[in-house]
């Protein structure tokens, strides 16, 4: 079993991470002492004087005693003064854990931080990372798991997984397990590898469909469309991916027509380098008017799928006809 310190303080504005740590501590406490060894202080019952009284009270419970106190972000320095003597004399085989979910100006008092440290405890600040700092944060977390995550790969990871730190960390842990990463021999991951591993099967195929449209490959687009529909993908979802990629292609075509070089355009795309190179090359084989017409065609299919004029045709027939028209 793990060695427990007498007191812990976990605080910050990353409420998801704090909840995760609280759940893990409670699970460890139940494994150590059972439910009877845990005392919870929540809501109105999470006052400093109630906690001080509990620490001073005699108990006949066997094993380690755990006190879990929520809401200490609402405490004031005066509350800590009431509790400080009890913290300085925590009984043996007792662990108390304070949890403070900070927000705005609502902060755990500095006096509690000092009292926990003075009692030989552990203070952990769980702070949310700003969105623009997430790739750097993800790379640092990856290094701890035995992964060497290139900056571009970290950006791709955030794009695919989202900005929640817990989800990013879980995805990194899955990558480390899948790739057998060891700290003594880091596994290097570039953007394309992360793109391939983290994108879901349906999402990858949706991009394949959209890219085939941009490239004018009607056969590949039709084949991928039928595969996606067979596995249950909705027409609305597929139209979204097609329209999104065509808009990106139109933006690239417009920039190229305005005189930007292909290299300049590639650097501005949020794609792995090789994917960006292929995408720009595909766009160079078409032009701005053709891409505008393609977007108009997709818009017509979307209107028809929502109850507009279909002319007696099914939605799949309309979609395939649109793919053929765009790729022609």
Q: Name the residue ranges covered by the structural domains of the chain.
A: 7-125, 131-198, 201-327
What is the block-wise mean pLDDT of the chain (328 residues), using blocks of 10 residues? 85 88 91 90 90 82 87 94 91 92 92 94 89 89 87 85 80 78 69 71 71 88 86 80 88 92 85 80 90 90 70 76 88
The rounded distance, in Å, linking the Cα atoms of 142 and 15 is: 22
Distances (CA, A) of 188 to 140, 145, 160, 176, 312: 13, 12, 19, 11, 54
Q: What is the CA radius of gyration of the chain?
A: 28
Q: Look at residue 272 in the predicted model and tell me its pLDDT.
A: 66
| Cβ atoms of residues 175 and 163 within 8 Å | no
Q: What pLDDT does 78 receive? A: 94
Cβ-proximal residues to 5 (8 Å cutoff; 6+ apart), any chain: 95, 120, 121, 122
CATH number of 7-125: 3.40.50.300
What is the predicted pLDDT for the residue at 293? Answer: 92
Q: What are phi and psi of 310, to 5 degrees?
A: -110, -15
Q: Is 141 helix (H, G, I), strand (E, B) or coil?
A: helix
- Look up residue 72 and give its DSSP letter: G
* pLDDT attached to residue 253: 93
Question: Hey, is 284 helix, strand or coil?
Answer: helix
Domain 201-327 falls under CATH 3.40.50.300: no
CB 120 within 8 A of CB 30: no
DSSP class of residue 277 equals: H
If we measure between CA atoms, which residue out of 259, 270, 148 comes closest to residue 207? 270
**pLDDT at res. 152:** 87
Which residue has 């032009």 as its token pair? 287
pLDDT, position 191: 79
Return the bridge partners of 8, or none. 97, 122
Tokens of 249: 């292609």
Residue 75 is predicted with a pLDDT of: 95
Beta strands in the chain (DSSP E): 7-12, 38-41, 65-70, 94-101, 122-125, 147-149, 187-189
pLDDT at 61: 63
The pLDDT of residue 180 is 67
Answer CATH for 131-198 from 1.10.8.60, 3.40.190.10, 3.40.50.970, 2.40.240.10? 1.10.8.60
How far from 202 is each of 61, 208, 272, CA to CA, in Å? 54, 10, 19
What is the model's pLDDT at position 60? 63
E-assigned strands of 91-230? 94-101, 122-125, 147-149, 187-189
- Quote the distance between the C-alpha of residue 70 and its chain's center: 25
The predicted structure's pLDDT at residue 193: 75
């Amino acid at each position: 079993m793990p060695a427990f310190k007498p007191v812990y303080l976990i605080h910050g504005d990353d409420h998801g991470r704090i909840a995760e740590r609280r759940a893990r501590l409670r699970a460890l406490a139940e494994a150590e002492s059972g439910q009877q060894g845990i005392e919870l202080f929540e809501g109105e019952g999470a006052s400093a004087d109630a906690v001080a009284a509990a620490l001073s009270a005699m108990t006949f419970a066997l094993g380690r005693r755990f006190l879990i106190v929520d809401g200490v972000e609402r405490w004031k320095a005066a509350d800590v003064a009431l509790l400080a003597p009890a913290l300085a004399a925590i009984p043996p085989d007792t662990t108390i854990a304070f949890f403070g979910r900070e927000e705005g100006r609502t902060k755990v008092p500095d006096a509690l931080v000092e009292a926990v440290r003075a009692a030989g405890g552990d203070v952990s600040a769980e702070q949310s990372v700003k969105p623009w700092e997430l790739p750097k944060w993800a790379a640092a977390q990856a290094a701890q798991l035995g992964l060497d995550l290139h900056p571009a790969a970290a950006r791709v990871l955030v794009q695919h997984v989202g900005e929640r730190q817990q989800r990013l960390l879980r995805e990194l842990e899955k990558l480390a397990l899948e790739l057998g990463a060891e700290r003594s021999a880091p596994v290097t991951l570039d953007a394309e590898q992360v793109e391939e591993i983290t994108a879901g099967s349906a999402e990858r195929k949706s991009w394949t469909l959209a890219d085939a449209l941009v490239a004018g490959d009607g056969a590949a687009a039709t084949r991928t469309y039928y595969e996606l529909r067979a596995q249950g993908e909705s027409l609305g979802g597929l139209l979204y991916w097609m329209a999104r990629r065509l808009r990106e292609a139109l933006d690239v075509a417009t920039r190229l027509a305005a005189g930007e070089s292909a290299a300049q355009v590639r650097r501005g795309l949020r794609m792995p380098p090789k994917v960006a190179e292929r995408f720009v090359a595909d766009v160079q084989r078409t032009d701005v008017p053709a891409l505008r017409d393609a977007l108009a065609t997709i818009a017509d299919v979307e209107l028809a799928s929502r109850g507009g004029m279909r002319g007696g045709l099914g939605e799949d027939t309309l979609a395939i006809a649109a793919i053929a028209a765009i790729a022609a």
